């Protein structure tokens, strides 16, 4: 596919497609400058790994999976210097794209560079039959949020990343005097579809980043177990069922070799305020038997009860990202 954009001015300034052979070192420095303080530990590690790679020959950049994700998009060049960037990522859904790494050097802001780069990404997405664009932006970054709104993006919600580590966790007591908690039990193999439907009823699909929840996310058949074993992964899910035996709450842990544990808590809207404590208490107890790594939980920033419980369990909020979507016509 040939991508055309308006010609840069006579000084060679303006937008142009990313050139993986020459732009990677400057791009990585720009992204570290703009996003370095907001990245989580894993993001900083990946950026650091790629920064060391930037001193290598160009063919090695192209072989690196993370560097290849920078290839589709545009940079803004000023007198031979890369001062802006915007990248478009494909997803498993052919018509759905992610806008990432929208960055402008602090010395070149308020010149309309980000807006023009976004327009070029929109054109590129349309040429690839894109129907929806999604992005994340730091919730408190009002100028960026206003820019995206002015371009037609609508807010879907905000997700807060909470972090702790296995040694730092504090137990959560189940302190109801009437002992009315429903029991927490393991998800049964035949209930995987119910768990999937429960998850979807609790969280907008586009708040799962970077892909919507897979239909088989809670499936635990033989093939899934073999794949997890071969890739150093484990997945565990506990649920709470109503008296009518309908799943109304779940708690999950996903672990992968060399990465932070990931966990979530989902409670059916009709049962909110009743199940969060026993579900999170189960996660905390289970983590005590797992590898002593960092832990991350992402949840809706409007969920004040779960935020209080996470604080009680010695989690701390790291960042809150607002998810936005543009439906292309």
H helical segments located in the chain: 20-35, 41-53, 58-63, 65-68, 113-127, 142-150, 192-202, 222-230, 276-287, 304-312
How high is the pLDDT of residue 38?
A: 67
The whole-model pTM stands at 0.87
Question: Looking at residue 54, what is its pLDDT?
Answer: 55
pLDDT tens over the chain, length 329 residues: 434 444 444 456 899 999 988 888 898 889 989 988 666 555 555 555 555 555 555 555 555 656 667 789 999 999 999 999 999 999 999 999 999 999 999 999 999 999 999 999 999 999 999 999 999 999 999 999 999 999 999 999 999 999 999 999 999 988 654 456 789 999 999 999 999 999 999 999 999 999 999 999 999 877 777 777 777 788 999 999 999 999 999 999 999 988 899 999 999 999 999 999 999 999 999 999 999 999 999 999 999 999 999 999 999 999 999 999 999 97
Nearest residue to 305 via CA among 278, 264, 272: 272
Taking the C-alpha atoms of residue 186 and residue 235, their distance in angstroms, rounded to an integer, is 12
Residue 6 has what pLDDT? 45
Helix (H, G, I), strand (E, B) or coil at 270: helix
Q: For position 67, what pLDDT does the model report?
A: 66
């Amino acid at each position: 596919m040939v991508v055309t954009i308006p010609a840069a001015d006579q000084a060679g300034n303006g937008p142009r497609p990313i050139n993986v052979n020459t732009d990677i070192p400057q791009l990585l420095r720009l992204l570290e400058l703009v996003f370095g303080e907001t990245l989580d530990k894993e993001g900083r590690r990946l950026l650091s790994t790629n920064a060391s790679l930037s001193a290598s020959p160009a063919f090695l950049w192209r072989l690196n999976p993370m560097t290849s994700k920078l290839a589709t998009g545009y940079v803004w060049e000023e007198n031979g210097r890369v001062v802006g960037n915007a990248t478009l990522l494909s997803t498993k859904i052919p018509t759905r794209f992610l806008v990432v790494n929208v960055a402008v050097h602090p010395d070149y802001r308020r010149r309309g560079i980000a807006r023009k780069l976004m327009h070029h990404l929109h054109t590129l997405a349309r040429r690839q039959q894109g129907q929806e664009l999604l992005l994340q932006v730091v919730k408190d970054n009002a100028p960026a949020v206003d820019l995206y709104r002015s371009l037609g993006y609508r807010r879907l919600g905000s997700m807060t990343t909470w972090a702790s580590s296995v040694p730092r966790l504090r137990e959560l007591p189940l302190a109801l005097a009437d002992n009315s908690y429903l029991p927490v039990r393991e998800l049964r193999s035949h209930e995987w579809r119910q768990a999937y439907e429960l998850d979807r009823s609790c969280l907008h699909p586009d708040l799962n980043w970077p892909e919507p929840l897979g239909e088989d996310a809670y499936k635990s058949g033989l093939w899934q177990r073999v794949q997890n074993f071969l890739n150093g992964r484990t997945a565990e899910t506990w649920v709470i069922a109503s008296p009518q035996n309908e799943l109304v709450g779940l708690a999950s842990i996903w672990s992968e070799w060399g990465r932070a544990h990931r966990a979530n808590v989902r409670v059916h809207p009709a049962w909110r305020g009743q199940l969060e404590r026993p579900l999170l208490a189960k996660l905390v107890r289970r983590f005590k038997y797992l590898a002593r790594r960092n832990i991350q939980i992402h949840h809706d920033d409007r969920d004040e009860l779960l935020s209080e419980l996470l604080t009680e369990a010695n989690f701390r909020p790291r960042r809150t990202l607002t998810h936005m979507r543009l439906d292309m016509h």
